[in-house]
Amino acid sequence: MSEFINKRLKGLAPYVPGEQPENFDKVIKLNTNESPFLPPAEAIEKAADALTRINLYSDPSAKKLTKAISEYLGVDKSNVSVYNSSDEALAIAFMGFCENGVAVNDITYGMYTIWAELFNAHVTLIKLKDDFSIDVNDYKGLKQTVVIANPNAPTGLTLSLEKVEELVSADKSRLVIVDEAYIGMGAVSAVPLIKKYDNLMVITTFSKTRAMAGARLGYIAACPSLIADCERIRGAFHPYNVNMVTQALGEYSLKNNDYFNECTNVLIKNREYLTEELQNLGFYVLDSKSNFIMCRPPKKDGGRYYQLLREDNVMVRYFDRDRIREYVRITVGSKEQLDILIMLTKKYIEGGLI
Ligand SMILES: *Cc1c(COP(=O)(O)O)cnc(C)c1O
């Protein structure tokens, strides 16, 4: 550490991302919830076109992309603001809207508490129930900005739209931020509620089910006054935040939504398949509405299962943390990838290893 860093940031511990291997051919990568598909062919063509103009700045207000997103969501352009990833969108939200502190779950996306530290927001940790579900009553009376992931990560569990609305309507002087990184795989989006509530922000990414993790794209949907605030901060922080290749990819991803729906249907089928196979082997599997599953091997040693798979070149995610140590998180990959994982898992079970 240098002598120059701001004192307040000396203890800052950055996120530990899932490992990105050097040799992609050798490993089966099911550790960071990426899609096994590519974006639609037209999106990739338009992205290549954009490269021929890469000497120019991108459109700082991403007009075409914003229009495509608002049409897709059935909202007005004034309800949408776009970001270089949902991580950037969430960082803006923590930077700009958490003066009274922030209430987050004890088992959720690890970046929330890191942004709270970075932007000096006091954290109130809300313990999930024993079955990892969220009880909206636990937020009653809290004045802090509430941040929840729905579906939650790494559990994959969802909160119903009725419960999200209960959370939002309980106190209209408190902001609720819903991170919908995994929307579209069985969970219901809260976006329609932004027309009714001025204290709701919905944040989404194109990284997971939209198969664009490497492109970095996300957006915030909210009422016009919240979006105007987000735009004010974005314009002061990073006005050209979404590059032109990504803008083209995002726009034409939405214009080829049938392709996306087909990919999603395959992923949902694969998720059900993986869940059933593991249950048949004696695993406990949480009811996921995401593109990953959280599961516990029969001998309840997540670390051992993770390590065995690692030695066989299959990467999954293990969190060596209270309450979830017995589990591993597995991204729903292609059927071929899952078949290898299942075959190996059978072998470990037969050998009495897990
Ligand atoms: C992956 C993920 C993000 C970050 O997505 P990016 O757009 O790739 O930054 C945010 N929230 C949750 C819950 C995630 O799982």
Residue whose CA is closest, atom 12 of ligand 1?
181
d(CA 51, CA 65): 16
Residue 181 Cβ inside 6 Å of ligand 1? The answer reads: yes
pLDDT at position 11: 87
Cβ-based burial of 39 (10 A; exposed 0-12, middle 13-18, buried ≥19): buried
CA of 212 to the centre of ligand 1 (A): 11
The two tokens of residue 334 are 């292609």
Residue whose CA is closest, atom 14 of ligand 1?
181
Tell me which residues of the chain have a pLDDT lower than 50: none
Question: Which tens digit of pLDDT belongs to each residue from 58-98?
Answer: 999 999 999 999 999 999 999 999 999 999 999 999 999 99
β-sheet bridge partners, residue 124: 103
Q: Map tokens 């059927």 to a residue.
A: 335
In ligand 1, the atom with minimum distance to the C-alpha of 108 is 13
Residue whose CA is closest, atom 9 of ligand 1?
87
pTM of the predicted protein model = 0.96
- Classify 223 in phi/psi space as left (phi over 0), alpha (psi -120 to 50) or beta: beta
CA 51, 243, 239, 224: dihedral to nearest 10 degrees? Answer: 120
Question: Which tens digit of pLDDT belongs to each residue from 201-258?
Answer: 999 999 998 999 999 999 999 999 999 999 999 999 999 999 999 999 999 999 999 9
Read off φ and ψ for residue 125, nearest 5 degrees: -90, 125
Q: Map tokens 């990467």 to a residue.
A: 315
Residue 88 Cβ inside 6 Å of ligand 1? The answer reads: no
Q: Given CA atoms 240, 244, 245, 248 in this order, what sign does their dihedral have?
A: positive
CA of 308 to the centre of ligand 1 (A): 27
pLDDT at position 19: 76
pLDDT at position 187: 95
By DSSP bridging, strand 218-222 and strand 284-285 are unpaired
